Amino acid sequence: MDEKEMNVQGKESKLSLGEIFKTLREGLVWIIVITILFAGLGVLYALGYQKTNYTARVDAYIFTDKLYTEDKDGFNTEGISEHVAYQYCAMLVPQCKPVFTSNEVLNEVNKAGIYLKGSINFIVNEDSPYFSITYTYSQQGGDKAAIKHEVAKTLNDYVTKSIETINTATVEDANGNQKIKYGYLSEKIFVYSDASPSDVSMATGRTRTVMLATLIGIVVAIIFVLIKNILSDAISTKEQVESITDNQIIATIDISSNLDNREKIDKKKGDTANA
């Protein structure tokens, strides 16, 4: 085993928490430089390549005019309580997403020339007939006002066409008769707030990108400094000497201090001789 391998093994075996902090303190310049480098790369990416997310939202709810109960004589002609109707409509809300995103609905939307270039998300309030549909589209650069207008229009057109499809799509029953496929939702979805360009939110995520790049830089810098110290063949502590030689050090001599004192004595002698 050569001397370098022995030194590395000695450092690994005696690498205490205190020595780690000491190593990081000694390599502070490296940590700062590498962190600044990564943070700079993050800034360059955020300014030059980061896309802006445009998000529009449409709010809607499920409602019903009349609901009836069934008794032993058939249907009760008196409408059930408003509370029960509310619960019924709230029960239907979670069923909206799979219908709005079904192939049948999306195909009809595409046939109408409405193309979703971004993602659709549904927000359902628990035990409530109210729900929201959000559309997020990402683009780098461009006219922000025009993009907002297009995003809002796309979402409104998508929702309008989807509801139209839900209200008209038919399916053949067991007797060969046509019936409304989504009868449990048909004529029950009402949009009460259209997406407006002025309400389209924008998010670049640049701050998050720079912070993430800086964090990565710090981690990489710390790992670099620690590995650099472990792989170094320099012996800087008495513990490393004891680990390599299997001998215990009883005392140490501070050579640097003695040399400093010797230089001061020699200088003083020289000054005296010149005087």
Same structural domain, 67 and 181: yes
Query: Which pLDDT value is given to residue 30?
Result: 86
Cβ proximity of 54 and 137 under 8 Å: yes
Which of 188, 203, 218 is the C-terminal boundary of a domain? 203
pLDDT of 73-90, one tens digit each? Answer: 655 555 567 788 888 899
Please tell me whether residues 81 and 183 are part of one structural domain: yes
Statement to judge: residues 36 and 76 lie in one domain: no
Q: Which of 150, 171, 203 is the last residue of a domain?
A: 203
* Nearest to 59, CA basis, from 185, 153, 163, 192: 192
Our count of domains for the chain comes to: 2
Report pLDDT for 78: 59
Among 1, 18, 14, which residue's Cα sits nearest to residue 241?
14
Q: Which of 91, 81, 106 is nearest to 61 (CA)?
A: 91
Per-residue pLDDT, 95: 92
Same domain, 103 and 173: yes
pTM: 0.62
Instruction: Pick out the chain residues at pLDDT < 70.
Output: 1-15, 46, 48, 66-80, 206, 232-275
**Ramachandran class of 177: left when φ > 0, alpha when ψ lies in -120 to 50, beta otherwise:** beta
Asked whether residue 188 falls in the same domain as residue 247, the answer is no
**Which conformational region is residue 176 in: left (phi greater than 0), alpha (psi within -120 to 50 degrees), or beta?**
left
Domain that holds residue 62: 52-203
Is the same domain home to 231 and 120?
no
Whether 176 and 225 map to the same domain: the answer is: no
All residues at 6 or more sequence positions from 226 whose CB lies less than 8 Å from its CB, including other chains: 20, 23, 24
Q: Are residues 105 and 39 in the same domain?
A: no
Q: What pLDDT score does 270 carry?
A: 64
Place of tokens 């195909």: 107
The confidence score (pLDDT) of residue 234 equals 62
Report, in this order, helix, strand and coil percent for the chain, each rounded to 5: 55, 20, 25
Say how many C-beta atoms besides its own lie within 10 A of residue 105's C-beta.
21
- Of 165, 182, 203, which one is at a domain's C-terminal end? 203
Q: Based on the fold, state whether residues 64 and 169 are members of the same structural domain.
A: yes
DSSP codes joined into one string, 40-80: HHHHHHHHHTPPEEEEEEEEEEE--S--EEEETTEEEEEE-
Same domain, 163 and 233: no
What's the pLDDT score for residue 27?
82
Calculate Rg over the CA atoms of the chain: 37
Q: Is 206 exposed, middle or buried (0-12, 13-18, 19+ CB in 10 A)?
A: middle
Residues 172 and 39 in one domain: no
| 186 and 217 both lie in a single domain | no
